[in-house]
Amino acid sequence: MGVQEPVNATAAYSGRGLVFEPPEAFRKRAFISSMEQYRELYERSIKDPEGFWREQAQRITWFEPFHTVKNTSFDPSNLYIRWFEGGKLNAAYNCIDRHLEKRADQVAFYWEPDNPDEEGKAITYRQLYEEVCRLANVLKKHGVKKGDRVTIYLPMIPEAIYAMLACARIGAIHSVVFAGFSPDSLADRILDGEATYLITADEGLRAGRRVPLKRNADQALERCPDVKTVLVVRRTGGDINWVEGRDRWYHEEIQTVSAECPPEVMDAEDPLFFLYTSGSTGKPKGVVHTTGGYLVYASLTHQFVFDYHEGDIYWCAADIGWITGHSYIVYGPLANGVTEVLFEGTPTYPDPSRIWQVVDKYQVNILYTSPTAIRALMREGDEWVKKTSRKSLRLLGTVGEPINPEAWLWYYRVVGEERCPIVDTWWQTETGGIMITPLPGATPLKPGSATLPFFGVQPAIVDNDGNILEGTADGMLVILDSWPGQMRTVYRAHDRFVQTYFTRFPGKYFTGDGARRDEDGYYWIVGRVDDVINVSGHRLGTAEIESALVLHEAVAEAAVVGYPHEIKGQGIYAFVTLKAGYAASDQLRQELIQHVRKVLGPIFTIDLLQFTPALPKTRSGKIMRRILRKIAANEYQDLGDTSTLADPSVVEELVQNRLNR
């Protein structure tokens, strides 16, 4: 991005690009404050994982100690992943009860509503305790038992945190469905998870717009007869439909129960939650995380990666509907007894200054957000940032997709005023917590690189045949051994778990990402190498979008690929062939785009939709996506080997009518 010269005292030009050393003031108080310290601890974590993790696990309160630290095998014919076996604990107890002695009156979170003129809330640990216990008792009263599945379809309101922790408290398994998903997507997830209980709200509020959550839920439940109770939070007071006997008001129910509820004693390997994520097949996978290992990992990474100290104000601006919200709004930070911000709104509402105003309002020290948000704010111009103070900020973080150096440097210079290190954290729904990341008091930063592995994480780069590449390398990112936060299985589809992650390179966990390692051993994540695209940090399966398109009566065939998008990272590009009797038109294009939004949810908005008489196929009938990706990226001069095409004229036509110019 044209950056050649060092720009300040902390940036050195190494001959390989810009390098930013940790600011001295930051380093001084950091837990890990030098590369020697990092290396020493890292080496120990790899040479003696049992010893390392036995020690780290002490940060959690166990009702009964574990007898075995690690019992894992990545052999696809005999795969098992178990951590802290024999240990008994409760995640909600760890996030709430154990803090009460010292910090009952400390604010656990400040809730900042969508509309800045609406009054927010400050919830102390004591209040959190009572709210969670009450809700846990409501769930029990409604017959929810340990091991039952509860679907949570809520906006970013305090009740979302209460709901997750109430489930954890009684040993019910929560399955949070992002509030931007459609009724159909919600129904699919309820059915796959065999959930019997749903917690939702009348409506959500985002950027001043109402999201009809209860209406979506009603529609979803037409397909889900096993859901017997729907608990409804009143957020907006908007008009909703009511099903007597099934629907219950949250605010009424919590009045009927006690504010004490003993935590269920859970095994370390009991499931805590599952969360759906897209892969290369049409059906999202229920990624299962268990209790002990997940909590140890979320809490440890939260403390070290964000260098979280007692008294810091922390803000993760993700949504609870994604893993980032699970690990770094709920379980990691609350296990560490933080004070944090829970934000209902969006960074640019009512204006592009909002995020910085919230930082000033709560004196946020640590901010964790996404490259998409940073790029969108950068585009609005520096004045929105500069009119705020931001003096409280000490550390900045990013997650979800590769960050381009230009956006990184803007975040560093304009937002953080060259005072705040940036932690570019690579991880996945499947990994439970951060895997490759700087440690902000130690790691010299390179814009665009997630840098080095966290303790206990052994990344490697392999070629197509699974050979491990040493030194500087370019290939596919795998992880060689288990870590406590790793997913354990795909809900009700263990074969799919083994198949998806452990068979392509037997004995190794395959991330689905391509990556490069440089001369200093730093990792640079290139992006997905499977049919997953990353739109604004949302992981979307192209197969899901294709399936939604062909549901429309006019569509014969569809192929969907990602293409580089200035703000969103990747945009969605769909190639569509029509059935006989249907003609391409702008109106039909709009109809198809709306159709997909309706089937899957508004985050699945196709950016470019090209009608074509045919798709490029091999003689055996396989769609050549590589060619479509090139055309979508407007790299049509360089299509690579096209000799296996059944009909080369198809490509000419596609190039002629390409939409991204």
Binding site for ligand WT7 (CB under 6 A): 277, 323-324, 399-402, 424-429, 450, 511-513, 525, 527-528, 534, 539
Asked whether the beta carbons of 486 and 431 are under 8 A apart, the reply is yes
Asked whether the beta carbons of 70 and 268 are under 8 A apart, the reply is no
**302 known member of a binding site:** no
Extended beta strands in 80-203, E state: 80-85, 88-89, 107-112, 121-124, 149-153, 173-176, 197-201
Rounded-to-integer distance, Cα 389 and Cα 48, Å: 45
In angstroms, what is the minimal distance from the CB of 532 to ligand WT7? 7
Residue with Cβ nearer ligand WT7 (267 or 424): 424
Rounded-to-integer distance, Cα 340 and Cα 325, Å: 12
Rounded-to-integer distance, Cα 494 and Cα 502, Å: 12
**301 known member of a binding site:** no
In angstroms, what is the minimal distance from the CB of 525 to ligand WT7? 4
In angstroms, what is the minimal distance from the CB of 98 to ligand WT7? 27
**150 known member of a binding site:** no
Q: What radius of gyration, in Å, describes the C-alpha atoms of the chain?
A: 24
Q: Which residue is associated with the tokens 């004196």?
A: 363
**218 known member of a binding site:** no
Asked whether the beta carbons of 630 and 639 are under 8 A apart, the reply is yes
**155 known member of a binding site:** no
**Amino acid letter, 327:** S
Residue with Cβ nearer ligand WT7 (427 or 636): 427
The 3-state DSSP class for residue 85 equals strand
Closest listed residue to residue 450, CA positions, set 523, 530, 504 = 523
Residue with Cβ nearer ligand WT7 (160 or 422): 422
In angstroms, what is the minimal distance from the CB of 182 to ligand WT7? 18
Residue with Cβ nearer ligand WT7 (138 or 450): 450
* CA 346, chain centre distance (Å): 16
Q: Which residue is associated with the tokens 């509402």?
A: 349
Extended beta strands in 364-508, E state: 366-369, 395-399, 422-425, 459-462, 468-469, 473-479, 489-490
**246 known member of a binding site:** no
**209 known member of a binding site:** yes
* CA 77, chain centre distance (Å): 30
- 436: tokens are 């490759």
In angstroms, what is the minimal distance from the CB of 374 to ligand WT7? 12
Residue with Cβ nearer ligand WT7 (171 or 347): 347
- 490: tokens are 């795909």
3-state secondary structure 485-546: CCCCEECCCHHHHHHHHHCCCCCCEEEEEEEEECCCCCEEEEEECCCEEEECCEEEEHHHHH
Kindly report the number of other CB atoms within 10 A of residue 579's CB atom. 12
Residue with Cβ nearer ligand WT7 (140 or 285): 285
Residue with Cβ nearer ligand WT7 (323 or 364): 323
Residue 358: phi, psi to the nearest 5?
Answer: -65, -40
In angstroms, what is the minimal distance from the CB of 318 to ligand WT7? 8
In angstroms, what is the minimal distance from the CB of 407 to ligand WT7? 12
**252 known member of a binding site:** no
Beta carbons within 8 Å of 225's beta carbon, 6+ residues apart: none
**278 known member of a binding site:** no
- Residue 350: asked if its preceding bond is cis (omega within 30°), the reply is yes
In angstroms, what is the minimal distance from the CB of 402 to ligand WT7? 4
In angstroms, what is the minimal distance from the CB of 454 to ligand WT7? 12
Residue with Cβ nearer ligand WT7 (265 or 493): 493
**535 known member of a binding site:** no
DSSP letter at 483 equals: -
Residue with Cβ nearer ligand WT7 (469 or 603): 603
**647 known member of a binding site:** no
In angstroms, what is the minimal distance from the CB of 612 to ligand WT7? 28
Residue with Cβ nearer ligand WT7 (10 or 425): 425
**208 known member of a binding site:** yes
**526 known member of a binding site:** no
- Known binding-site residues equal 206-209, 324, 400-402, 424-429, 513, 528, 536, 539, 550, 552, 555, 597
- Known binding-site residues for Mg(2+) equal 550, 552, 555
- Known binding-site residues for ATP equal 400-402, 424-429, 513, 528, 539
